[in-house]
Amino acid sequence: MPHLRATLAVDWACPHLRADLEAASARPFEETRAQEDWLTGHDTPAHDGDTVREARFLTALARVRALADARAPLTWARLTEVQAEVLGKPVGFRTGEAFAHGGAHRYLYAPDLEEMFIRKVEADAKDGCHPVAQAVRLYLDLAFFHPFPDGNARAARLGLEYCLRRAGLPTPPLAPWVLLPKPPGDAERYVRFVRLVARSISGSASCEEAS
């Protein structure tokens, strides 16, 4: 799996990004409504104005924020709890191959994939990396392991929100980093993603970094 090889190759302590990460940490927490802005400005219009889908996401977002504010540990059980709100029904790990973007993206399946994903995500949540790096890593894992039968992009955005908010960091505008090309397996892009999110939080991101 290209993503797994790449994410394991990245030094998520990101020592060369220390200044950017420290600048992000210095930003006081505030309610930015970045998720709501993305939802109404991009996501809902892209899905034919589906207000039921939007309402479910907002319910899941409220749950994520409550868990983060309570400093609840990140576990697979909590991820599935939130995803059940996103989809409006109980959900578990997918049981076969998955496809996205009209079949353009294919996500393979193996019998040990669920165990591997759960073990990795729960261990990563405890490894002491900077919250921005943790947030980006979780976002990428949810996007590229594609653990749920549906709604993985939404799960990824919620996972990033959880990691940042739990650490007392504001969620920056989503468009620059959601729209940033992130080919699975491109470790260099993964690190650029960390830098972009950190600089978006601190307010020092440039237009060139979003390209």
Question: What is the reported pTM?
Answer: 0.94
* 172-206 pLDDT per residue, tens: 999 988 988 888 899 999 999 999 999 999 997 66
pLDDT of residue 123: 95
Residue range 151-158: mean pLDDT, rounded: 96
Flag whether 210 is in a domain.
no
Flag whether 211 is in a domain.
no
* 59-72 pLDDT per residue, tens: 999 999 999 999 99
**Quick one: pLDDT band at residue 207, thresholds 50, 70, 90?**
very low
Flag whether 86 is in a domain.
yes
Instruction: Work out the burial of residue 80: count CB atoms within 10 Å of its CB; fewer than 13 is exposed, 13-18 middle, 19 or more buried.
Output: middle
* 3-62 pLDDT per residue, tens: 999 999 999 999 999 999 999 999 999 999 999 999 999 999 999 999 999 999 999 999
Flag whether 155 is in a domain.
yes
- CATH classification of the domain holding 131: 1.10.3290.10
Flag whether 209 is in a domain.
no
Flag whether 83 is in a domain.
yes
Cα distance between residue 117 and residue 104, in whole Å: 23
Structural domain of 170: 2-203
Overall domain count for the chain: 1
* 103-112 pLDDT per residue, tens: 667 888 899 9
* 155-165 pLDDT per residue, tens: 999 999 999 99
Neighbouring residues of 164: CB distance < 8 A, sequence distance ≥ 6: 131, 132, 135, 170, 171, 201
35 and 171 Cβ atoms separated by less than 8 Å: yes
Flag whether 63 is in a domain.
yes
Flag whether 196 is in a domain.
yes
